[in-house]
Amino acid sequence: MNKSQKILAITSIAVVIVAISLWYGSHNGLLPATASGEAELYDRLFNQLIAIATGLFLLIQGLIIYSIFKFRQRKGDETDGPHIADNAVLELAWTAVPTMIVLWIGITSFDVYNVMHYQEGDSGMMAMAGHMHHKLMPQLMQEANAATLQEGNTPAPADPDETVVEVAGMQYAWIFTYPGTEVVSAELHLPVGRKVRLKISANDVIHSFWVPQLRMKQDAVPGESTEMEFTPNKIGEYPIVCAELCGSQHGGMRAQMFIDSPETYAAWIEENQETASVEDHKAIAQLDLQAIQTQALRQAPIIATHLAHTH
């Protein structure tokens, strides 16, 4: 093979690798359906990373497999290979290129994180939080701002229409309380298209609130309050999964999240409100809790022992 043939071969292999990577990046189908705008943003980042990973995977595995065939010892050849121990250009390249790739991943991830994650304080504080970051890492933040503007996800002022739900994790159930109403439920109902804030707590051990279709997860830590924010954009029924080991029935700690149309949501709240108001709502709530916690109650003696022990 002469030099120009070699260059042609290498170029065409590179083109094929890039093409496969780009195609797989957008057609991997590895993620479940999305239920929020944040999740769509996540998928874009994930697909970009998958494209990069696919390219590197093909490159390195290709080199290894090629070497195994091309450079295997031939029968009777007991000699050594060439004495080549370094190459400054190559070594510089495989230090610099990965550095640039991971920094790019860092910056891009920061953009996405900035949009997806819950900001401390209410959402009106977002701009201020942004400024704090600005001081810490100006470059990253500028990138982030540019990206958020492009996305059209400019931080909105405090939203009085935000739906707030208190989420409590306990062995082995999730309890959803709707402040301002008397609704306490084992199902999470949310109106589509409105910002949601979940105030997450834990009663016994650490749990983790995860909805795969939201691409979000937040630990519920006893003694601490954590939050999660998102805007659901697709009506449907989605699984809520406990992602942090919480005991023997951890795998069974599942619930459902319903993204409803605003009308259905209002009706659901009203219906549950009525049930709660008919009798002493506390008693009902207690009953509800008991129904929900049948499994948890089996653990009650342990919790009691534990409480007695720790006081």
Partner 1 sequence: MTQTQIQPISAASNQNPSEHPERHWRDYFTFCVDHKVIGIQYLVTTFFFYLVGGVLASIVRGELATPDQDLLPPGVYNQMFTMHGTIMIFLWIVPAVTGGFGNYLIPLMIGARDMAFPKLNAIAFWLIIPGALMLMGSFFVGSSESGWTAYPPLSLITEFKVGQALWIFSIIVLGTSSILAAVNFVVTIWAMRMPGMGLFQMPLFCWSMLATSCLVIVATPVLAGAMTLLAFDLLAGTSFFNPTGGGNPVVYQHLFWFYSHPAVYVMILPVFGMISEILPVHSRKPIFGYKAIAYSSMFICVLGLVVWAHHMFTSGTPDWLRVFFMIATLLIAVPTGIKVFSWVATIWGGKLRLNSAMLFALGFVSMFVVGGLSGVTLASVPIDIHVHDTYYVVAHFHYVLFGGSVFGIYAGFYHWYPKIVGRMLNEFWGKVHFVLTFVGFNLCFFPMHILGLQGMPRRVAQYDPQFATINQICSFGAFILAISTFPFLFNAVWCWFKGEKAIANPWHALTLEWTTASPPIVENWENEPELLTDPYDYGMGHTYDQQGHVILANAS
Residues 283 to 302: which contact partner 1 by CB under 8 A?
A: 302
CA distances for 21 relative to 52, 136, 140, angstroms: 7, 35, 27
Q: How far is the CB of 75 from partner 1 (least distance, A)?
A: 11
The sign of the CA dihedral 117, 122, 127, 130 is negative
The sign of the CA dihedral 124, 128, 129, 130 is positive
Residue 90 sits in the site that holds partner 1 (CB under 8 A): yes
Peptide linkage before 172 cis (omega within 30 of 0)? yes
Which of residues 24, 37, 42, 176 is near partner 1 by CB under 8 A? 42
CA dihedral 17, 20, 26, 30 (to 10 degrees): -100
**DSSP bridge pairs for 239:** 256
Which of residues 35, 215, 231, 265 is near partner 1 by CB under 8 A? 215
Residues in contact with 247: Cβ distance below 8 Å, sequence separation at least 6, in sequence order: 171, 172, 205, 299
Whole-angstrom Cα distance, residue 224 to residue 75? 68
Residue 280 sits in the site that holds partner 1 (CB under 8 A): no
Total number of residues that touch partner 1 (CB under 8 A): 92
**Is the Cβ of residue 53 or residue 149 nearer to partner 1 in the bound state?**
53
Helix (H, G, I), strand (E, B) or coil at 242: strand
Whole-angstrom Cα distance, residue 20 to residue 42? 21
Residue 212 sits in the site that holds partner 1 (CB under 8 A): yes
Sole window of 15-23, 75-83, 152-160, 181-189 interacting with partner 1 (rule: CB under 8 A):
75-83
Which of residues 40, 120, 270, 271 is near partner 1 by CB under 8 A? 120
- Kindly report the number of other CB atoms within 10 A of residue 11's CB atom: 10
Which of residues 82, 152, 160, 180 is near partner 1 by CB under 8 A? 82
Q: How far is the CB of 290 from partner 1 (least distance, A)?
A: 20
Contact track, partner 1, 235-274, x by CB under 8 A: ----x-xxxxxxxxxxxx-x--------------------
Q: Are strands 163-170 and 196-202 parallel, antiparallel or unpaired?
A: parallel
Directed axis angle between helix 281-292 and helix 262-278, to 10°? 110
Q: How far is the CB of 221 from partner 1 (least distance, A)?
A: 6
**Is the Cβ of residue 184 or residue 202 nearer to partner 1 in the bound state?**
202
**Is the Cβ of residue 98 or residue 262 nearer to partner 1 in the bound state?**
98
Query: Binding to partner 1 (CB under 8 A): which residues in 14-33?
Result: 30-32
**Is the Cβ of residue 18 or residue 284 nearer to partner 1 in the bound state?**
18
**Is the Cβ of residue 166 or residue 182 nearer to partner 1 in the bound state?**
166
Residue 206 sits in the site that holds partner 1 (CB under 8 A): yes
